[in-house]
Amino acid sequence: MLLTDGNFMSRLIVMIAQRLALGVFTMFIVSIVIFAAIEALPGDFAQAILGQGATPEAVAAIRESLGMDRTAVERYFAWLGGAVTGDFGVSFSQLSFQSQYGQTGERDVVTVADQLGPRFANTIFLAATAAAVAVPLSLGLGILAALHRGTVLDRIANIGSLTSISSPEFFVAYLLILFLSAANPIFPSISKIHADLDFWQQVYRTVLPALTLTLVVTAHMMRMTRVAIINLLSSQYIEMARLKGVPRWRIIVHHALPNALAPIINVVALNLAYLVTGVVVVEVVFVYPGVGQLFVDAVKLRDMPTVQACCLIFAAAYILLNLTADVVSVLTNPRLRHPR
Amino acid sequence: MTLKLQRRTVLKAGGATLLATSAFPSFATAQQRGGTLRLGLSGGNSTDSWDGRTHSDVFMQVSAMGGVFDCLTEIAADGSLVGELAESWESTTDLKTWTFNLRKGVEFHNGKSFGADDVIESLQMHVAEGAKSPAKPLVEPVVEMKKMSDHQVQFVLQAGDADFPYQLSDYHILIYPAGMVDDAIRGGIGTGAYRNEGFDPGVRLLLGRNPNAYKEVWFDAVEAISITDPGTRVNALMTGEVDAISRIDAKSVRLLERNPAVEVSEVTGNQHYSFPMITTTAPYDDNNVRLAVKLLFDREEMVRKILLGHGKVGNDHPIGPANRFYAADLEQRTYDPDMAKHLLKKAGVEDLQISLSASDAAFAGAVDAAQLFQQSAQAGGVSVTVVKEPADGYWSNVWMKKPFCACFWSGRATEDQMFSTAYATGKPWNDSYWDHPRFNKLLAEARTELDDSKRRELYREMQVIVRNEGGVAIPMYANWIDAKSKKLAHSPKLGNVWALDSARIMERWWFA
């Protein structure tokens, strides 16, 4: 199918390089915005971690030990200097913990990367489980709905997916707990997954949060698939194929779908990014130890290094998935492959 | 020195109950060993560690003081003081010099045997240079710590303090192995009845029974999960994912009661919801105004609507039913707008306009409570503007800064701790900036008074003074509401100093 002439490949590589460079620039902007936003929030880490015990001396002591007495600009560039070399630093809470036992120096330094690592793996696991169900389901439903446009099947798929996307996530989550955990104890109501569980146990404990996310993201992808295919079905070459007597499913799979892929892939990418970044509520309801909970904790504590690292992960997820979507769209579309 | 001490009058000897859990031998159900206790706890954070100086919420209270670590003394479920790592204690007549006899044959989880050095080093952690310990005010008055023998320590205090052994039961003052405090904080090495077998802060903690424990405990293992959302905690209990949960919403109580497999355990303690007024600024520098504000709280309504009945009306002083010298016979203050009007007239501010800052960070329902006050204060001619403050940074930017705001206190085990923390002049948490010479004098007097009935009198007078002249309106005591599976059993009396049987659920409960 693909015409992989050298000219095309080199143009593609240039495009990817340009987009990656733009992505890095975007992440730089994101880090400035996030830093400024944390600065603008009332209170800082010292006050947040001391809570009711924030006496002026204690606050000053913590600020000094974390270098928070420097100006915001100095602190930002100190952080940026580490981040560009791949060192996201140590979270404030760890630093302040260590500053209390500074002398021994034997303490293992827990970096932001150490803290984020396992959580990020959990988040990806949940996103992948949800995507493995949601993407085939919504594409399949979308194609079926397009094939049987205006029938009961189309209506049910539309109403069902719109209902689930219109309800708040926690409500969908509670409904699933009610039906699949409380009334019929099939799945556990809380995930509490950890490294000691084997793969299938992890999958079993991830079913309810993944199902919640599936219900939330299916509508968008399904409707986009349906609309894109329906649009094409009225075009002339499809009509021609139909006149020639090609079976309907073949028309859709072989002639309509390849041309409809670009918009569908874009929507899928957006939703996959959402699965990585937008799951805080689902994590809280199912006690799922992902990045979201760590992120919320860090924002509450104004723990700048952790917040920044989380935000960069989220930004990178969007940027990379969008880039992937664009590349795949180009590859699947002859007109984009050979622009005039 | 030891001999000299023993010649003096022995005032107090706390007999340590050998087995804290078997303190109720008459209880019908036989305690039995076995099972893994699964807890769904509130108040866990990804910043939690085994450093007692940073503990402030249920998760670490239950896990550290109630599991992995021990204190010198322990408040039993009935409110009396028993020994934990201390076996007995005595003081000189001036209550300045205290000698503690330590339990022998106790080992830390790493095999180090427990002795006097551990006690001294652990206490010094709270007063070390630059230490940020909430227990600093409790340990600071100790001017000298002396090791008398391997199992005897002597503390010399700045001034006499009859409650000193009580102070040492504070959940921050955990005992660490001397010379390896860092290791102990990193790995959770204490003397407790459970050993740390895996801790992922803010997520999950696994504990196993310590085979060398000196205490008899009943569970083989404990799994504590941090569940921050109250609704999720209730779900986890209802679906049998955990056996007990802490801190449930008053609104969920009725739901839980419908489930035959679970039950709510509720105790009234010292936890109170308060509204401090800064007494150094107008209009609250006038006691007539403060009293009028207190009279304009419709307490019954607040207990009914904010606590949904799970509490008790407060009487504008912080001493609660879990305190020894609680003056239960004081006249209960009630809603009286006419009297309030009269007092405001006396103060010359008949059409008083005030603002009340509140956020649900203070306590669940604080904003609603402020709005109830807004309504009830109208009858007294006071117009209240409710300022809804952000929950983030509430304790730094609102509490002790805004002239009138919402606040909560867990209460303290002793009257002295409560008063010296939040009512004595010049203390960092004196949230009404109150200064009452007579009160301060009584407070110092009561600390060194030996006779319990005289102390009762002194503390009674202090409660009266705070009630009538203090800067804090305390409309309600909130119950500790936890919930548990019916498979779990406990002795009939539950501790009411902290949540979950004063945070001792792992040590005191068992599977029936």
Q: In whole angstroms, what is the distance from residue A271 CA to residue A281 CA?
A: 16
User: A194: distance to nearest CA of chain B, Å?
Assistant: 9
The residue with greater pLDDT, B194 or B399, is: B194
The per-residue pLDDT for range B235-262, each reduced to its tens digit, is: 899 989 999 999 888 888 888 888 899 9
Of the pLDDT bands very low, low, confident and very high (cuts 50, 70, 90), residue A102 is very low
With b meaning 16 or more CB within 10 Å and e meaning fewer, what string describes B411-422?
bbbbbbbbbbbb
List the single best residue of A190, A204, A310 to mutate versus B (max B Cβ within 10 A): A190
Query: Which of A97, A181, A284 is nearest residue B228 as measured by Cβ atoms?
Result: A284
Residues 239-268 of B with CB under 8 A from A: 239-242
Kind of pairing between the strands at B272-276 and B472-478 = antiparallel
Q: Would you call the peptide bond into B230 cis, given omega within 30 degrees of 0 as the criterion?
A: no
B131 interfaces chain A, CB cutoff of 8 Å: yes
CB atoms within 10 A of CB B348: 10
The C-alpha atoms of residue B123 and residue B172 are separated, in whole angstroms, by 10
Of B54, B182, B241, the CB nearest to A101: B182
Q: What is the mean pLDDT of residues B139-160?
A: 93
Q: In sequence order, what DSSP letters do the residues of B339-399 get, joined into one string?
A: HHHHHHHHHT-TT-EEEEEE-TTTSTTHHHHHHHHHHHHHTTT-EEEEEE--STTHHHHTT
DSSP string, A7-36: HHHHHHHHHHHHHHHHHHHHHHHHHHHHHH
d(CA B218, CA B344) in angstroms, rounded, equals: 59
Summary mean pLDDT of chain B: 88
Q: Are B208 and A161 in contact (CB under 8 A)?
A: no
Residues on chain B touching A285 (C-beta within 8 angstroms): 229, 231-232
Choose the weakest-confidence range: A43-52, B144-153, B246-255: A43-52
In eight-state DSSP terms, residue B113 is B
Q: What is the pLDDT of residue B337?
A: 94
Q: Do A190 and B236 touch (CB under 8 A)?
A: yes
Strand pairing partners for B156? B97, B144
* Choice between A259 and B371, residue whose per-residue pLDDT is larger: B371
Closest partner CB to B395 (pick from A51, A62, A300): A51
Query: How many CA within 13 A on the CB side of residue B342?
Result: 5
- In angstroms, the CA A177 to CA A185 distance is 9
Q: State pLDDT tens for residues A156-188.
A: 988 888 888 888 888 999 999 989 988 888 898
Stretch A22-44: mean pLDDT, rounded? 84
C-beta atoms of A107 and B186 within 8 A: yes
| Residues A208 and A187 sit within 8 Å (Cβ to Cβ) | yes
Higher pLDDT, B382 or A43: B382
Contacts of A54 in chain B (CB under 8 A): 395-396
Partners of B235 on chain A (C-beta within 8 Å) are: 174, 177, 181-182, 189-190
Find chain A residues with C-beta within 8 A of B181's C-beta.
Answer: 101
Q: To probe the interface with A, which of B235, B388, B405 has the most A CB atoms within 10 Å?
A: B235
Q: A76-80, A152-156, B176-180, B438-442 — which is least confidently predicted?
A: A76-80
Closest CA to A206 of A282, A313, A119: A282
Q: Residue B2 has what pLDDT?
A: 40
Distance of CA B403 to the CA centre of its chain: 25
Task: Report the C-alpha gap between B24 and B493 in whole angstroms.
Answer: 9
In angstroms, the CA A340 to CA B328 distance is 90
Q: Do B202 and A49 touch (CB under 8 A)?
A: no
Residue A127, number of CB atoms within 10 A of its CB:
23
| Residue position matching structure tokens 């005039």 | A340
| Cβ-based neighbour number of residue B340 at 10 Å | 26
- pLDDT-derived band of residue A24, with 50, 70 and 90 as boundaries? confident
**CB A181 to CB B204 under 8 A?**
no
The residue count for chain A: 340
Q: What is the nearest CA distance from B181 to chain A, expressed in angstroms?
A: 9
What ipTM does this complex have?
A: 0.79
What is the average pLDDT across B376-401? 87
Chain A positions with Cβ closer than 8 Å to B:
41-43, 47-55, 58, 61-62, 93, 97, 100-101, 104, 106-108, 115, 174, 177, 181-182, 185, 188-190, 192, 194, 284-287, 289, 293-294, 297-298, 300-301
Q: Which residues of B touch A41 (CB under 8 A)?
A: 392-393
Rounded Cα distance, A169 and A217, in Å:
10
DSSP B118-153: HHHHHHHTTTSTT---TTHHHHTTEEEEEEEETTEE
Question: Does the pLDDT value for residue B1 go beyond 70?
Answer: no
Report residue B206's pLDDT band, with 50, 70 and 90 as the boundaries: very high
In chain B, the residue whose alpha carbon lies closest to the alpha carbon of A102 is B182
Cβ-defined contact of B235 to A181 (cutoff 8 Å): yes
Q: CA-to-CA distance for B234 and B397, rounded, in angstroms?
A: 32
B19 pLDDT band, cuts 50/70/90, is very low
CA-based nearest distance B197→chain A, Å: 13
CA dist., res. A141 & res. A222, Å (int): 6
Distance between alpha carbon B499 and the CA centroid of its chain, in Å?
A: 9
CA A67, A73, A77: angle at the middle one, nearest 5? 80
Does B395 lie at the interface with A, CB-CB under 8 angstroms? yes
* Chain B hits for A289, Cβ within 8 Å: 200, 202-204
State pTM to two decimals. Answer: 0.83
Among the partner residues B202, B241, B392, nearest to A42 by beta-carbon distance: B392
Q: Which of A58, A190, A301 sits opposite B241 (nearest CB)?
A: A190
Whether residues B56 and A48 touch (CB distance < 8 A) is answered with: no
Residue with tokens 């609660």: B320
At residue B26 the predicted structure's pLDDT band, cuts being 50, 70 and 90, is very low
At residue B21, the pLDDT reads 40
> Which residues of chain B neighbour A280 with C-beta distances below 8 Å?
none
Given CA atoms A190, A191, A194, A200 in this order, what sign does their dihedral have?
positive
Q: Please check whether residue B393 touches A, CB under 8 A.
A: yes
Q: For chain A, what is the mean pLDDT?
A: 82
Phi, psi of B40 (to 5 degrees): -110, 105
Token pair for B372? 């109830």
Question: Does residue B425 belong to the interface with chain A, where contact is any CB pair within 8 Å?
Answer: no
Instruction: Yes or no: say if B373 and B296 are a contact pair by the CB < 8 Å rule.
Output: yes
Residue B57, both tokens:
């919420």
Show residues of chain B in contact with A185, CB under 8 Å: 239-240
